[in-house]
Chain A
Amino acid sequence: MALTVQSSPAEHDYRHLVQDDRIHGSLYTDPAVFTDEMQRIFTDGWVFVGHQSEVPEIGDWVSRRLGTEPVLMVRNRDGAISVVANRCAHRGTTLCPQNDGNNRNFRCAYHGWTYDLDGTLLGVPGPKGFHKDTADLGLDRPGQVDEYRGFVFANRSGTAGPLGDHLGAGGTDLIDRTSDMSPSGNVRLSAGWIGQRIDSNWKMWPESDHDGYHLNFTHASMARAVPDTYYDEIVMTGEEASESATRAYDGGHLELDFRRSYTRELAWLGTTREKVADYCEALEGSFGPEKAKTIMWDGPPHALVFPNLFLAEMNIARIEPVAPGVTVHHHTPLLVEGTDESVNRRLVLQSEAAMGPASFFLTDDAVIAERMHRAFEGSSVGDDGWVDLSRGIEREHIEDGQRWSDITDETTNRGFWHHYREVMAGVAGDQQNGI
Chain B
Amino acid sequence: MASVDEPTRRDIEAFVYLEARLADESRYDEWEALVTDDMHYWVPFGPGDYEPGTRVSYINDNRARLGTRIRQLATGVHHAQDPPSSMRRVVSNIEILSAEGDEFEVGSNFVLYEHAVQATGHLRLWAGRATHCLRRTADGLRMAAKKVELVNSTSPLPNLPFII
A interface residues, Cβ below 8 angstroms from B: 99, 191-199, 218, 220-222, 224-226, 328, 330-333, 345, 348-349, 351-353, 356-358, 360, 363-364, 366-368, 370-371, 374
In chain B, residues 66-96, which have Cβ atoms closer than 8 Å to a Cβ of chain A?
A: 68-69, 71-72, 75-80
Q: Is the CB of A349 within 8 A of B79?
A: no
CB within 8 Å for A367 and B118 given contacts A225-B75, A360-B72: yes
Q: Which of A99, A224, A357, A364 contacts B58 (CB 8 A)?
A: A357
B60 interface contact, C-beta 8 A:
yes
Q: Is the CB of A345 within 8 A of B56?
A: no
B residues less than 8 Å from A193 (CB atoms) = 56
CB distance from B50 to the nearest CB of A (A): 9
B161 interface contact, C-beta 8 A:
yes
A residues less than 8 Å from B158 (CB atoms) = 196-199, 357, 366
Instruction: Report how far A268 CA is from B131 CA in the complex, Å.
Output: 35
Residue of A220, A330, A332, A363 with most partner-chain B CB within 10 A: A363
A residues less than 8 Å from B156 (CB atoms) = 195-197, 328, 330, 357
Q: Is the CB of B72 within 8 A of A357?
A: no
Q: Is the CB of B65 within 8 A of A363?
A: no
B160 interface contact, C-beta 8 A:
yes
B127 interface contact, C-beta 8 A:
no
Q: Is the CB of B79 within 8 A of A197?
A: no
B33 interface contact, C-beta 8 A:
no
Chain A residue at smallest Cβ distance from B80: A363
Q: Is the CB of A199 within 8 A of B122?
A: yes
Chain A residue at smallest Cβ distance from B157: A357
Instruction: Report how far A192 CA is from B60 CA in the complex, Å.
Output: 14
User: Please, could you name 26 A-B residue pairs with CB atoms under 8 Å apart, sorted by A?
Assistant: A191-B54, A193-B56, A194-B58, A195-B156, A199-B120, A221-B75, A221-B76, A221-B78, A224-B72, A331-B56, A332-B56, A345-B53, A348-B54, A348-B60, A356-B56, A356-B58, A357-B58, A358-B161, A360-B72, A366-B80, A367-B79, A367-B80, A367-B118, A367-B159, A368-B79, A370-B119
CB distance from A342 to the nearest CB of B (A): 10
Q: Is the CB of B159 within 8 A of A351?
A: no
B interface residues, Cβ below 8 angstroms from A: 43, 45, 53-60, 65, 68-69, 71-72, 75-80, 118-120, 122, 154-161
Instruction: Report how far A195 CA is from B154 CA in the complex, Å.
Output: 8
Instruction: Report how far A358 CA is from B76 CA in the complex, Å.
Output: 17
Q: Is the CB of B56 within 8 A of A348?
A: yes
Q: Which of A222, A353, A358, A370 contacts B118 (CB 8 A)?
A: A370
Q: Is the CB of B78 within 8 A of A364?
A: yes
Instruction: Report how far A216 CA is from B77 CA in the complex, Å.
Output: 11
Q: Is the CB of B53 within 8 A of A348?
A: yes
CB distance from A380 to the nearest CB of B (A): 17
Instruction: Report how far A360 CA is from B159 CA in the complex, Å.
Output: 11
CB distance from B59 to the nearest CB of A (A): 5
Listed from nearest, the 3 A-B pairs whose CB atoms lie closest are A195-B156, A370-B119, A363-B80
Chain B residue at smallest Cβ distance from A99: B154
B residues less than 8 Å from A226 (CB atoms) = 68, 71-72
Chain B residue at smallest Cβ distance from A351: B56
Q: Is the CB of B75 within 8 A of A370?
A: no
Q: Is the CB of A221 within 8 A of B68?
A: no
CB distance from A428 to the nearest CB of B (A): 35
Q: 17 extra interchain contacts, Cβ-Cβ under 8 A, other than A199-B158, A225-B68, A328-B156?
A: A191-B54, A196-B158, A199-B120, A199-B122, A331-B56, A345-B53, A348-B54, A348-B56, A349-B53, A351-B56, A352-B59, A360-B69, A364-B78, A364-B80, A366-B158, A367-B79, A368-B79
Q: Is the CB of A224 within 8 A of B119?
A: no
Instruction: Report how far A193 CA is from B60 CA in the complex, Å.
Output: 15
A residues less than 8 Å from B57 (CB atoms) = 352
Q: Is the CB of A358 within 8 A of B78?
A: no
Instruction: Report how far A153 CA is from B50 CA in the complex, Å.
Output: 31
A residues less than 8 Å from B159 (CB atoms) = 196, 357-358, 363, 366-367
